[in-house]
A and B are shown apart, each in its own frame.
Chain A
Amino acid sequence: MNWQALVPLIGLLLVIFGAGMWAGKYIKSSNTFMQDYFLGGRSLGGFVLAMTMTATYGSASSFIGGPGTAYTQGLGWVLLAMTQVSTGYFVLMVLGKKFAIVTRKYHALTMVDFLKERYRSKWVVLLSAFSIIIFLFSAMAAQWIGGARLIESLVGIPYTTALFIFALFVLIYVTIGGFRAVALTDAIQGTIMFVGTLILLVATIIAGGGISNIITDLTAENPNLITPYGADGSLTPAYVSSFWILVGVGVVALPQIAVRAMSYKDSRSMHRALIIGTIVVGVIMLNMHLIGVFTRPILPGIEVGDKVMPLIALEVLPNWLAGIVLAAPMAAIMSTVDSLLLLVSSAIVKDVYLNYVEPKASHQRVKRLSIGITAVLGIVVFVMALNPPDLIIWLNLFAFGGLEAAFIWPVVMGLYWKKGNKYGALASMVAGIGLYILSDSFFPKPFGLHSVVMPVVIAFVAYVSVSLGTRKKMLVEEA
């Protein structure tokens, strides 16, 4: 066991834990439990907002590859990863003020609440809540496995023990603290990711004998590593460009991101978050993936991509510093898990239970139920992660693209296009999810594009044509 690396890591986890507990105090004394638990009382300031968004999609990126793939593919993968810089400003500008104002008018606390008020359709609500529950639940299981693997390889304890420690830890601070705890710990985690990748990049460059030296080594090994086309030339411009849809602009429709666009305190916080967010996302993405590429000449022959970050950190940094820096990937995983956990529980309690099962549930009951469901969900995910069923892994592959294909037009057009209606939204969601699963299973790269592109285009056509085609029907219904 590597104590010198372990002590700083544990210390850091304790700080995060403390922050969660502190946030929990707000919940206890709260009169507006739902708003506080699921939305942090709409009181996020600029810095916390920027960091919580970054930490949340900072891990969406590890989903598409991260440093391990950059290690294999070279600079072409860094180019692909940089499509994510746009998420730093795009989400907040596009959902931006309109989403903040409208969701306040609707008293919406979740993305589904917004869809419910906007379309007034039971089916839209149920379909969205179930997509969120199924897709995010699977995405969460995969992240837990990742978190446990990281502890396992770092500390040298068995997988099950590692998973248990990780699960217990995340569960306690999320159940007690709610959204505010998540946002606050995300802020700490985002900061660690930012500083951590910066230190590690510099140390890696020094260890490799300077950038020129590293690039020369890479060229000598395989000139393709320094081209935009990837090690084996498989990264075509069309394919790489289509990641603008998946990780650049489509992120607008991810419920865990959208919910943050209704949590800011005022326009000043939003403006600050825009600037801080853009810088932080860009720096983390650039550093993390460059570290992956630059590790190649220093530590050749790493076969498991997930190990690139831990190995290079232990190689180029003193042990205690490696411990602190390695908290960064750990932080990325935790911050995804905690926000997904909260979202799935809000979909169950708020979107399904309160809407359709027991609309008149008492304040006390809702509070107990929210905390209870969050805890139960965590335990179920824990059990699943012990020995993950194939279905979960399979669904997880679809999670982000599927949610984007489902929600992008109902949310964006719902906000900005007056004529959009519930039939359009339903058609768009069904077409989006259905096509995405079909295309991903049978035609992985239609026209050389990522499989999320076509479903998004067709979901748009479905939204507009069905909305226009059912205008008369809507007028009759509302008259």
Chain B
Amino acid sequence: MEELNAHDNDSRYKVANREALVGIGLVIFNFVWWFAFAYGLGGKDPSEYTYVFGLPAWFFYSCVLGFIIMAVLVTVVVKKWFAEVSFEKEGEER
């Protein structure tokens, strides 16, 4: 059977696969953070809400802080772990 070249032994794919998994990991973390604060803190009666910078705490932690944390995480992950590979032919092994 002829190998389809999306799955040949190109060493760059290892890097690509690892980085795709990082993306999935980040989304799961993002979801859990977003969900836990939104419904954990926001589930009570509005009269019991606490406030941060004037916004309801659930909203601040879930949407504002959550976004800032994701932006920082993405920056750190990309700068520290993402490898530079060439997209052109020279990286090919065959």
Asked if B56 contacts A226 (CB within 8 A), the reply is yes
Mask for B64-94, Cβ within 8 A of A = 1, else 0? 1011001100110011001111111101100
Residues of B within 8 A of A89 (CB): 23, 26, 70, 74
Known: A83-B34, A96-B16, A241-B35. A274 touches B51 (CB 8 A): no
Q: Which of A90, A97, A274 contacts B12 (CB 8 A)?
A: A97
Asked if A79 contacts B63 (CB within 8 A), the reply is yes
Asked if B17 contacts A105 (CB within 8 A), the reply is no
Q: Is A291 an interface residue (CB 8 A)?
A: no
Asked if B78 contacts A271 (CB within 8 A), the reply is yes
Q: Which residue of A lies closest to B68 (CB)?
A: A282
Known: A75-B59, A266-B86, A278-B70. A97 touches B19 (CB 8 A): yes
Residues of A within 8 A of B86 (CB): 266-267
Mask for A264-283, Cβ within 8 A of B = 1, else 0? 10111001001100110010
Which range holds the interface residue count of chain A? 35 or more
Asked if A268 contacts B84 (CB within 8 A), the reply is yes
Q: Which residue of B lies closest to A224 (CB)?
A: B46
Asked if A93 contacts B87 (CB within 8 A), the reply is no
Question: With the chains together, A416 CA to B26 CA distance in Å?
Answer: 18
Nearest CB on B from A213, distance (A): 8
Known: A82-B34, A85-B70, A282-B67. A98 touches B17 (CB 8 A): yes
Asked if A86 contacts B30 (CB within 8 A), the reply is yes
Nearest CB on B from A30, distance (A): 19
Q: Is A122 an interface residue (CB 8 A)?
A: no
Asked if A100 contacts B87 (CB within 8 A), the reply is yes
Residues of A within 8 A of B84 (CB): 266-268, 271
Nearest CB on B from A260, distance (A): 14
Q: Is A212 an interface residue (CB 8 A)?
A: yes
Asked if A93 contacts B6 (CB within 8 A), the reply is no
Residues of A within 8 A of B78 (CB): 271, 274-275
Asked if B70 contacts A223 (CB within 8 A), the reply is no
Asked if A78 contacts B59 (CB within 8 A), the reply is yes
Q: Is A227 an interface residue (CB 8 A)?
A: yes
Question: With the chains together, A214 CA to B27 CA distance in Å?
Answer: 32
Asked if B71 contacts A248 (CB within 8 A), the reply is no
The secondary structure that dominates the A interface is helix
Asked if A85 contacts B20 (CB within 8 A), the reply is no
Q: Which of A85, A86, A211, A271 contacts B53 (CB 8 A)?
A: A211
Known: A104-B87, A267-B84. A96 touches B1 (CB 8 A): no
Asked if A271 contacts B82 (CB within 8 A), the reply is yes
Asked if B87 contacts A101 (CB within 8 A), the reply is yes
Q: Is A469 an interface residue (CB 8 A)?
A: no
Q: Which residue of A lies closest to B6 (CB)?
A: A102
Residues of B within 8 A of A86 (CB): 26-27, 30-31, 70
Q: Which residue of B lies closest to A42 (CB)?
A: B87
Residues of A within 8 A of B55 (CB): 211, 215
Question: With the chains together, A98 CA to B5 CA distance in Å?
Answer: 11
Asked if B51 contacts A96 (CB within 8 A), the reply is no
Residues of A within 8 A of B6 (CB): 102, 118, 414-415
Asked if A282 contacts B20 (CB within 8 A), the reply is no
Question: With the chains together, A374 CA to B55 CA distance in Å?
Answer: 47
Question: With the chains together, A212 CA to B49 CA distance in Å?
Answer: 13
Question: With the chains together, A428 CA to B2 CA distance in Å?
Answer: 24
Q: Which residue of A lies closest to B38 (CB)?
A: A228
Nearest CB on A from B40, distance (A): 10
Asked if B71 contacts A279 (CB within 8 A), the reply is yes
Asked if A478 contacts B2 (CB within 8 A), the reply is yes
Q: Which of A34-57 contact B (CB under 8 A)?
A: none
Question: With the chains together, A224 CA to B45 CA distance in Å?
Answer: 9
Known: A78-B63, A96-B19. A215 touches B87 (CB 8 A): no
Q: Which of A100, A244, A282, A478 contacts B31 (CB 8 A)?
A: A244
Nearest CB on A from B72, distance (A): 10
Asked if A267 contacts B34 (CB within 8 A), the reply is no
Question: With the chains together, A97 CA to B84 CA distance in Å?
Answer: 10
Q: Which of A6-21 contact B (CB under 8 A)?
A: none
Known: A228-B39, A248-B27, A279-B71. A416 touches B17 (CB 8 A): yes
Q: Would you list 18 pairs from A and B whose C-beta atoms are within 8 A, ordered by A residue?
A: A79-B62, A82-B62, A86-B31, A86-B70, A98-B13, A101-B85, A118-B4, A215-B55, A226-B49, A228-B38, A237-B38, A241-B31, A244-B31, A267-B85, A271-B78, A274-B74, A278-B70, A286-B63
- If A227-B46, A274-B78 are given as contacts, then 4 extra A-B residue pairs at C-beta distance below 8 Å, sorted by A number, are A75-B56, A223-B46, A248-B27, A414-B6
